[in-house]
A and B are shown apart, each in its own frame.
Chain A
Amino acid sequence: MPKKKVVLNFPPHLIDQPITYRLIMDYGLVVNILRARITPQEWGSMVLELGDGNGRLDEALAFLTELGVGVEPLSKEVRWHEERCIHCTACTGPCPTQALAVADPHTMTVSFDEERCIACELCLPVCPYQAVEILF
């Protein structure tokens, strides 16, 4: 089953709508909520992993855009600033998905695989050089 990680940004007037329910019931998506921040009268955001159960993922995304929900691929919202990274490896222990991992055990260089990142933010307080930035 194809999967896609996205960040949804909700304008305040949509917060009381059961959008996740619609994604599941109307479009048959397999929804895994990785993170959500919803406060009354403010923009809300949600990080979802969407599994395309019956080939209607694109339709579902179009539905969201139509409603006024901002949809961005997660990989665009997480930045690893390689020039700031000193390859200390401090983040590689806490990173639960190995998005940040030692790429070469001989040189001990660290690499970032944006496809693996789930934006859990565990690396943020760990990196002393602010090399990881999460934009939403």
Chain B
Amino acid sequence: MAKTIQEINEKIKAGRAVVLTAEEIIGVVREKGVKQAAAMVDVVTTGTFAPMCSSGAYFNVGHATPRMKIGGGRVALNEVAAYAGFAAVDILIGATALPDDDPRNKVFPGKFPYGGGHVIEDLVGGKDVRLTASTYGTDCYPRKALDTWIRLADLNEAVLFNMRNAYQNYNVAVNLSDRVLYTYMGVLQPRMRNANYCTAGQLSPLLNDPLYRTIGVGTRIFLGGGEGLVVSQGTQHNPGVLRTDGGVPRRGAGTLAVTGDLKHMSPQWLRGASFTGYGVTLTVGLGIPIPILDEEIMAFAAVSDADIIAPVVDYSEAYPNGKPEVLAEVSVAQLKSGEISVNGKKVVTAGLSSYARAREVARILKERIEKGSFLLAEPLAPLPGPDSGYAFKPLKERPYVPSNRDAVS
């Protein structure tokens, strides 16, 4: 028996919807079978809380007196470079942005104590943030410099906009070289002494809906503690990768672009993060409800850590040089046990994505739906699926050669 999103929303409004987290559903399906579970359960909630670099936020800071055209000038928030290529007082900051005077990796490995991710966390936490801007003056916008405190509550619009979140599956990083590597996958000890992974596994949104049957453009989601929606597939969306018989990608695959009102979010679910020797990012809490419309969707949402396979990749050679080599495939269940075996060698594992906090996201989303304060949204369009031909391509480099060589020499 198939249900519709509308029918499920009616049940949510009446307080009768049966909602389980993506962890709770595993046992139910094991015990009762897919058919019975599909009839019984209306929504499965997923969650993840992990570093997601392609996150950012835009703001309208309001006009100063006299007016100033920050657009086309320069702007910084707490000395972290922001972007000012829009209208007069619309600015954008990205998670990985750094203060101009951060020494980066000049003293290796750099510490990167503060950056764009932390600015977003501070703003969401209600803290005062220093806005500095300089520009050229115009007749209509004569002011050229500004140095002021701002805070979230005083801004006009403040919107989180993440062009790529919720990666569907991800590499397990190891280091085959003889020196310590400092990467976005953490600190990797030489000669494969450790392996770092980054997935919420059985709670991960896109791993519970691997063929994007319910998650699409316009899906309402938990984002940063508040609410948001899926804008489209995220950057680097790559649905055509190798999959298990159960349809679950064995490599990094789908991604989501998401957005939501920053004013309703919380610093507990948007955390600045500093990766030694790599840089700054934003750790984002994101959860997606999956409406159980039919048995196939139910079977997908019952995925468990043992069914999810991730590729082990060398970050000393293969990753930096864009080689597709995979050293081994391991299950998320193995990764979570604290030790995996790669080509006969035992390797200690550690995570970057917080499973403990992913559980909390799924639980909060479940409670909101049970209380009737969160309704499901009907997607407006599907995401490009495995057979769409949509693929993630490397850069086709065509080196620039000055056309007038003689004049240059």
- Where the two chains meet, the residues of A that have a C-beta atom closer than 8 Å to any C-beta of B are 86-94, 102, 105, 107-110, 125-126, 128-130
Residue contact B194 to A108, C-beta cutoff 8 Å: no
Q: Which 4 A-B pairs have CB atoms at the shortest separation, nearest pair first?
A: A93-B350, A87-B356, A108-B355, A128-B273
Contact partner of B274 among A92, A102, A128, CB < 8 A?
A128
Given contacts A86-B271, A86-B283, A125-B109, contact A109 B187 (CB under 8 A): no
Given contacts A86-B283, A88-B354, contact A126 B336 (CB under 8 A): no
Residue contact A125 to B51, C-beta cutoff 8 Å: no
Residue contact A130 to B274, C-beta cutoff 8 Å: yes
Q: How far does the alpha carbon of A50 sit from the alpha carbon of B369 in the complex, in Å?
A: 56
Main secondary structure of the interface of A (DSSP, over half): loop
Kindly report which residue of chain B lies nearest to residue A102, judged by CB atoms.
B338
Residue contact A90 to B273, C-beta cutoff 8 Å: no
Name the residue among A89, A109, A126 with the largest chain B CB count within 10 angstroms: A89
Q: How far does the alpha carbon of A89 sit from the alpha carbon of B352 in the complex, in Å?
A: 7
Residue contact B352 to A90, C-beta cutoff 8 Å: yes
Residue contact A94 to B194, C-beta cutoff 8 Å: yes
Q: Size range of the interface on B? A: 35 or more
Residues on B with C-beta less than 8 A from A130 are: 113, 274
- Where the two chains meet, the residues of B that have a C-beta atom closer than 8 Å to any C-beta of A are 49-51, 109, 111, 113, 182, 186-187, 189, 194-196, 271, 273-277, 281, 283, 336-338, 348-357, 359
Q: How far does the alpha carbon of A129 sit from the alpha carbon of B267 in the complex, in Å?
A: 13
Q: How far does the alpha carbon of A128 sit from the alpha carbon of B355 in the complex, in Å?
A: 16
Residue contact A90 to B357, C-beta cutoff 8 Å: no
Contact partner of A129 among B194, B271, B356, CB < 8 A?
B271
Residue contact B274 to A126, C-beta cutoff 8 Å: no
Residue contact B356 to A109, C-beta cutoff 8 Å: yes
Given contacts A88-B352, A105-B337, contact A93 B359 (CB under 8 A): no
Least CB distance, A92 to chain B, in whole angstroms: 5
Residues on B with C-beta less than 8 A from A92 are: 338, 350
Residue contact A88 to B351, C-beta cutoff 8 Å: yes
Q: How far does the alpha carbon of A128 sit from the alpha carbon of B338 in the complex, in Å?
A: 19
Residue contact B336 to A108, C-beta cutoff 8 Å: yes
Q: How far does the alpha carbon of A88 sit from the alpha carbon of B285 in the complex, in Å?
A: 13
Kindly report which residue of chain A lies nearest to residue B189, judged by CB atoms.
A94
Kindly report which residue of chain A lies nearest to residue B347, judged by CB atoms.
A93
Residue contact B338 to A129, C-beta cutoff 8 Å: no
Residue contact B357 to A128, C-beta cutoff 8 Å: no
Q: How far does the alpha carbon of A90 sit from the alpha carbon of B271 in the complex, in Å?
A: 16
Q: How far does the alpha carbon of A88 sit from the alpha carbon of B350 in the complex, in Å?
A: 8
Least CB distance, B302 to chain A, in whole angstroms: 17
Given contacts A93-B194, A128-B274, contact A88 B353 (CB under 8 A): yes
Residue contact B274 to A93, C-beta cutoff 8 Å: no
Least CB distance, B180 to chain A, in whole angstroms: 9
Kindly report which residue of chain B lies nearest to residue A86, judged by CB atoms.
B354
Residues on B with C-beta less than 8 A from A105 are: 336-337
Given contacts A93-B348, A94-B194, A108-B336, contact A86 B186 (CB under 8 A): no
